[in-house]
Amino acid sequence: MANTEESKKNEGFAVPKKNLLWIIIGFVIMVVGYALMIGGGSKNPTEFSDAIFSFRRIVLAPLVIIAGTVVVTVAIMRKK
């Protein structure tokens, strides 16, 4: 009898709702990081534009993406 009660309690989604919320937040942070990388090209393909080497694209965006990855990883690995 105890086995059936225990198996009913363990049914459901493998990740708790709180962790799922943190996973979604982490993915949103990662999308923001990728959006920070957008732009910087020149309109003429034969001209070089220094805008691709801005702080936002070289430093900030990768750090934001790594932060989002860390949030997702911690949310997946964290127990109840």
pLDDT digits (tens, 9 = 90+) for 23-42: 999 999 999 999 999 987 77
Q: What is the pLDDT of residues 69-79, one digit of tens each?
A: 999 999 999 88
Is the CB of residue 60 less than 8 Å from the CB of residue 11?
Answer: no
Residue 52 pLDDT exceeds 70: yes
Average pLDDT over residues 11-28: 90
Helices (H) and strands (E) in the chain, counts: 4, 0
Q: Is the pTM of this model over 0.75?
A: yes
Largest Cα–Cα distance of the chain, in whole Å? 76
Position 1 confidence tier, pLDDT thresholds 50, 70, 90: low
- The gap from C-alpha 50 to its chain's centroid, in whole angstroms, comes to 28
Residue of 19, 31, 26, 20 whose CA lies nearest to 61: 31
Q: Is the pLDDT of residue 6 over 60?
A: no
